[in-house]
Structure 1
Amino acid sequence: MVSASLQEVFAVQVARTPDATAVSGGGVRLTYRELDECANRLAHRLIGLGVTPDAPVAVQLRRSADLVVATLAILKAGGCYVPLHDAYPPERKQWIVDSFGSPVLLADAASKGDGLAATTTTLLLDSAEEAAELAALPATDPGRPADPGQLAYVIHTSGSTGEPKGVAVTHRDALGLALDPAWEGGRHERVLMVAPYAFNVSTYELWVPLLHGGEIVLAPPGNLDVESLRALLAEHRITGVHLTAGLFRVLAEEAPEALSGVREVLTGGDVIAPAAVRRALEANPDLVVRGMYGSTETTLFATHEPMTAPFDGGDAIPIGGPLAGVRTHVLDENLAPVAPGGTGELYLAGRGVARGYHGKPDQTADRFVADPFGAPGSRMYRTGDLVSVGADDRLVFVGRVSGQVKIRGFRVSLGEVEAVLAKHDGLAHVAVIAREGDAGDQRLAAYLVPSDGDVDLPSLKAHAARLLPDFMVPAWFVVLDALPLTPNGKIDRAALPEPEAGPAVEYVAPRNPRQETLCAIFAEVLTTDRVGIEDSFFDLGGQSLLAMKLISRIRAALDADLSISDLFDQPTVAGLDALLDEQA
């Protein structure tokens, strides 16, 4: 049982390696001593603003050293951090802040440009005024009492009621993950912080390196492509990195040699492609690829499956066995254990089971249930995932019990998307399902029945983009006269038609050899027969992972200096062709 707090274990590491680099990136490098002192000053500032044990402090910062300082400072002040993703729609950020009763918000000038939630007190950490305020405060630890049962953070996930759910995680559970024996052996000395910090992977990217004397290397803000990721891994000699299953597949397909200096890649959040693992290990025989399974409700990772060369993964990669302190139960509908080889719902107990959902006791009681196999009062988390039990006790993912899916590594409740779309005028019925895209990834498809006349699709798409994170906005919107029903009157989701992704504009043929090459690459990546020079990559079903693949192949074919940001600005062949002319 862990009997310390995150900041207490960090303090031990500061005493052990005060002059080692703790965080670097964006032209800033902080040693453990410097990070500790910066966090102490901000902690005193927060205490002066009334932050008390378990008090929430909202965070909306670009990926920077200030982000790491802020996270640590909040804990030193006794509070818990509530990260807000800068890509969240303003309404979502405001809803989260309001649900905590107008907490202190830590932000920066760049995030202010994305729109900040309204709250009582907002500190812009990179402003001259705030820098002067902090400089006058003590650099010594504020000495707030620490309890491992206090909240460390609240991270929000998709909820079935149309509102996000805040998962409340304690210091004990976060430490249990960060100090797991899986991270020993020196493979996580320099960890690349590349995931959005408002998602649960930040628990690994922040606390595993900081509590082991390692270094957090901050990826620059914005979208990364294959070449920029390759450069980051090489330049900073990254030893450990987490890549979603989709991003790992793209990197393994397009540039497996980019992982040549990396010692361990963590991947998961979706089905891991065995071919991608095989290709990565063939190119990098000393690499460890560790498949990870878990959820925010179980403090990120609960099971793992390490893979090394030579690799023969068969058709499916298991989600493996439990991490230290985690107990797995595969149960039938009567909560009885299934026999080896059988299939049942996975329940997780022991280390990592979160306190519950902030302000949602009914939903907490539904998902966090009594553990009949543990000590009195212990709980287990009902994952909603079906798994089978192998002869060696390794678990294999089979499917979902409920209406939740994984999109680009993020868990999405179909009910939340349906609830948001249903608020738009002119809709009688809405159904949302996940479908496999041509690249093997999962995407959302929305099926719409108008209440009267036609559906205003541009208005509906704008409505969805305003209220939902981009990964929850459906890739397809299909208008039907009626939703198909089963004999007992429920929506027959299996009978919903395959969506058709066609060009948004009339086909325009390429006019020069470079446009011909670009059209061919667009069509290859999008797995479609033909792409015109005025067709938008994103209107044809493109998304961020396919964008990485597209830019990688354009670079290779044309020796062009393009980035994903260029594609977002110019998503057509004609636009990219004109941009290349300008560069020339």
Structure 2
Amino acid sequence: MESFSIPQRFAEQVARTPDAVAVSGGTAGLTYRELDERANRLAHRLIGLGVGPEDRVAVLLDRSVDLVVAVLATVKAGAAYVPVHEGYPPDRRQWVVDHSGAVVLLADTAMRAGGLPTGVPTVIVDDDPATAGQPAGDPAVPSHPDQLAYVIHTSGSTGEPKGVAVTQRDALRLIFDPQWTVERHERVLMVAPYAFNVSTYEIWMPLLHGGEIVVAPPGRLEPSLLRELITGARITGIHLTAGLFRVLAEEAPETFAGLREVLTGGDVVAPAAVRRVLDTNPGLVIRAMYGATETTLFSAHNPLTADYRPGMVVPIGSPLSDVTLHILDDRLSPVPTEVEGEIYISGRGVARGYFGDPELTAQRFVADPFGEPGTRMYRTGDLARRTGDGLIEFAGRANSQVKILGFRIELAEVESVLAGFPGVAHAVVVVRELDQGEKRLVGYVVPESGEVDLGALRAHTREALPDYMVPAAFVALDALPLTHNGKLDRRAMPEPDFAAVSTYRAPQTPLQEKLCAIFGSVLEVPRVGIDDSFFDLGGQSLQAMRLLGRIRAELGVDLLINVLFDVPTVAGLAKHIDDESAAAA
């Protein structure tokens, strides 16, 4: 495996199982032979456009079978794929394409309809006659495991994303790590945003082991659809962020029926959620995962089975094969057992660095004093301690980086956007945690003079950042609170008043009264009026799933998540429910 590249490993799998289904989604599906031929044609098209070894190819498609074709074709052409998040605002999409130096953009008709980044040749994967006319044979581009596989962008402290450059060797060593029981990942549901590093697992784990990628429909997924997909497609393996796992555990633990293994992580995993899912599905393995994009997704794991007994936390567990997790003090010396230190990761998976940013690479990828000369370790910024039984427990962050909905966010990047709004003198972003364990960002601003239009500030932020980075609330202050030493006192920031977002209007019907109570319970606000918007009250996608689950459980009404986006107020939802009930009568 060490001497093979991704295209070589995939070719071996095609030879073994040419007629097995490789990828399916909706009514579309491709066998290994068909996927190979389609990817070969697109690879020839890319080569004809001048794509060569280690060139970057930007990928902007809806979640689909075509997306898998595009990614595979890119590595077959010798290039590295650069996922562009479909939820990014246009300026951020353009920035990722420009920053990566992409020489071609692969898109589809759905993305084209919404406008595409400019400045590079574009191939519309699902509507390109020039690709259909290319040969179906392997392009036979020489490949090496140390070539780049992909560049994935994460939030950056400078106000701009940073691109993590990962080689094919590191991706392969993860996918072929001996921890995996391949049978549990025969059919993997592709459900995460593909610009998220979990796509490494969702795409390459099944494809390189002879399994099947089942592509979830594009757009937002609610628990009922996830349950249908898992059951209908006989999914065996899935990755869910810790927040989504917790919501499903509390609202619909039967969602996990039929699965063999669930991977979860990206934030603190709730012990009670693990126990609830295992009580409902005792044959399931829940694997708590830990890692970073800079260390090729996963570096440590903790498999949890029916005999699991919840403690205060779910430990990170122990390192994967050929990975070392050092817990060090500020002098890079190992700390004793049960003493908190910072996690540094060395060994398998440490990325090449940040694309086009040698200075930041040197700061975060440091010399490994415990390894061979020339080896490096990645400084995570995570704090942890090693327990007496050898497991590692996460203990928080050493810097201003946070995880929201499984995405890593640098608060400085959000602050930079807020500070760039006209009339803002100072901006600070903090994290507020709900009783349910979910986190929300709150943006605090000090005006240069007069007042800041907070509604316009929210709109400005939404135009510049993806949804998961937009604060749930904005608060204007006369001045930032300071400590006695003159430093910013984040703990003294006032709590946002989510309940004071509109003129209160009381519920007028029993249905409205019940919906107001459900809104208040889910969002943890004391009073909700019928004109209050779920999202203006601080609601985000995980709370939306929780809300729909409560409405289904308490009112017996099944709502799709897009309904909440269309009518986010109590009054609007009540009218929608009444109209649907009348139409069905």
| SS in structure 1 at match of 2:432 | strand
For residue 116 of structure 2, what is the aligned residue in structure 1?
116
Q: How far, CA to CA, are the matches of 1:79 and 1:57 in structure 2? A: 7
For residue 376 of structure 1, what is the aligned residue in structure 2?
373
> Of residues 333, 337, 340 in structure 2, which corresponds to 1:340?
337
Q: How far, CA to CA, are the matches of 1:251 and 1:5 in structure 2? A: 37
1:390·1:396 contact (CA, 8 Å) conserved in 2?
Answer: yes
1:270·1:406 contact (CA, 8 Å) conserved in 2?
Answer: yes
| SS in structure 1 at match of 2:272 | helix
Matching of residues 381-396 of structure 1 within 5 Å:
381-396=378-393
Shift of residue 522, structure 1, vs aligned partner: 1.5
For residue 50 of structure 2, what is the aligned residue in structure 1?
50
Shift of residue 102, structure 1, vs aligned partner: 5.0
| SS in structure 2 at match of 1:187 | helix
| SS in structure 1 at match of 2:2 | coil
Matching of residues 2-401 of structure 1 within 5 Å:
2-101=2-101, 103-127=103-127, 130=128, 132-401=129-398
Question: Does 2:515 match 1:518?
Answer: yes
Q: How far, CA to CA, are the matches of 1:264 and 1:222 in structure 2? A: 24
| SS in structure 2 at match of 1:181 | coil
Q: How far, CA to CA, are the matches of 2:520 and 2:496 in structure 1? A: 18
For residue 540 of structure 2, what is the aligned residue in structure 1?
543
Q: How far, CA to CA, are the matches of 1:505 and 1:479 in structure 2? A: 16
For residue 531 of structure 2, what is the aligned residue in structure 1?
534
Q: What is the identity, as a one-letter code, of the residue corresponding to 2:508?
A: R
TM-score normalised to the size of structure 2?
Answer: 0.97
TM-score normalised to the size of structure 1?
Answer: 0.98
Shift of residue 304, structure 1, vs aligned partner: 0.4
1:449·1:483 contact (CA, 8 Å) conserved in 2?
Answer: yes
Q: How far, CA to CA, are the matches of 2:256 and 2:94 in structure 1? A: 39
2:499·2:526 contact (CA, 8 Å) conserved in 1?
Answer: no
Q: What is the identity, as a one-letter code, of the residue corresponding to 1:331?
A: L
Shift of residue 560, structure 1, vs aligned partner: 2.5
Instruction: Structure 1: state its 5+ residue gaps.
Output: none
| SS in structure 2 at match of 1:59 | strand
Q: What is the identity, as a one-letter code, of the residue corresponding to 2:54?
A: D
Q: What is the identity, as a one-letter code, of the residue corresponding to 1:322?
A: P
Q: What is the identity, as a one-letter code, of the residue corresponding to 1:413?
A: E
| SS in structure 2 at match of 1:253 | helix
2:62·2:108 contact (CA, 8 Å) conserved in 1?
Answer: yes
Residues 569 and 150 (structure 1), Cα distance of their counterparts in 2 relative to 1, 3 Å cut: same
User: What does the per-residue CA deviation read over 1:57-93, in whole Å, with 9 as the maximum and x for residues that have no partner?
Assistant: 0000001110000000000000000000111011111
CA RMSD of aligned residues (A): 1.2
Q: How far, CA to CA, are the matches of 2:119 and 2:177 in structure 1? A: 37
User: What does the per-residue CA deviation read over 1:196-244, in whole Å, with 9 as the maximum and x for residues that have no partner?
Assistant: 0001000000001111111100110111111111111111111100010
Q: How far, CA to CA, are the matches of 1:205 and 1:555 in structure 2? A: 30
Shift of residue 390, structure 1, vs aligned partner: 1.0
Q: How far, CA to CA, are the matches of 1:126 and 1:257 in structure 2? A: 36
Q: How far, CA to CA, are the matches of 1:346 and 1:141 in structure 2? A: 43
Q: How far, CA to CA, are the matches of 1:562 and 1:223 in structure 2? A: 13
| SS in structure 1 at match of 2:452 | coil
| SS in structure 1 at match of 2:179 | helix
Which stretch shows the higher mean deviation, 236-245 or 501-510? 501-510
| SS in structure 2 at match of 1:562 | coil
| SS in structure 2 at match of 1:551 | helix
Shift of residue 247, structure 1, vs aligned partner: 0.3
| SS in structure 1 at match of 2:184 | coil
Matching of residues 419-568 of structure 1 within 5 Å:
419-568=416-565
- Aligned pairs, how many? 581
Which stretch shows the higher mean deviation, 384-393 or 245-254? 384-393
Moved over 6 A (4+): none
Q: How far, CA to CA, are the matches of 2:425 and 2:340 in structure 1? A: 38
Q: How far, CA to CA, are the matches of 2:408 and 2:100 in structure 1? A: 23
Shift of residue 502, structure 1, vs aligned partner: 1.5
Indicate the percent of aligned positions where both proteins have the same amino acid.
63
| SS in structure 2 at match of 1:141 | coil
1:17·1:32 contact (CA, 8 Å) conserved in 2?
Answer: yes
Q: What is the identity, as a one-letter code, of the residue corresponding to 1:89?
A: P
2:56·2:81 contact (CA, 8 Å) conserved in 1?
Answer: yes
User: What does the per-residue CA deviation read over 1:292-349, in whole Å, with 9 as the maximum and x for residues that have no partner?
Assistant: 0001000000000110112212011111100111111111111111111211111000
Shift of residue 185, structure 1, vs aligned partner: 4.4
1:357·1:364 contact (CA, 8 Å) conserved in 2?
Answer: yes
User: What does the per-residue CA deviation read over 1:25-55, in whole Å, with 9 as the maximum and x for residues that have no partner?
Assistant: 1210110110001000000000000000000
1:303·1:321 contact (CA, 8 Å) conserved in 2?
Answer: yes
Q: How far, CA to CA, are the matches of 2:259 and 2:82 in structure 1? A: 31
| SS in structure 2 at match of 1:448 | strand
Shift of residue 528, structure 1, vs aligned partner: 2.5
Q: How far, CA to CA, are the matches of 1:122 and 1:306 in structure 2? A: 43
Q: What is the identity, as a one-letter code, of the residue corresponding to 1:190?
A: R
User: What does the per-residue CA deviation read over 1:353-374, in whole Å, with 9 as the maximum and x for residues that have no partner?
Assistant: 0000011111000000011111
Q: How far, CA to CA, are the matches of 1:458 and 1:516 in structure 2? A: 28
Residues 396 and 520 (structure 1), Cα distance of their counterparts in 2 relative to 1, 3 Å cut: same
Shift of residue 460, structure 1, vs aligned partner: 1.0
Q: How far, CA to CA, are the matches of 1:179 and 1:521 in structure 2? A: 46
Shift of residue 537, structure 1, vs aligned partner: 0.7
| SS in structure 1 at match of 2:574 | helix
| SS in structure 2 at match of 1:191 | strand
Q: How far, CA to CA, are the matches of 2:102 and 2:219 in structure 1? A: 28
Q: How far, CA to CA, are the matches of 2:565 and 2:318 in structure 1? A: 40
2:498·2:538 contact (CA, 8 Å) conserved in 1?
Answer: yes
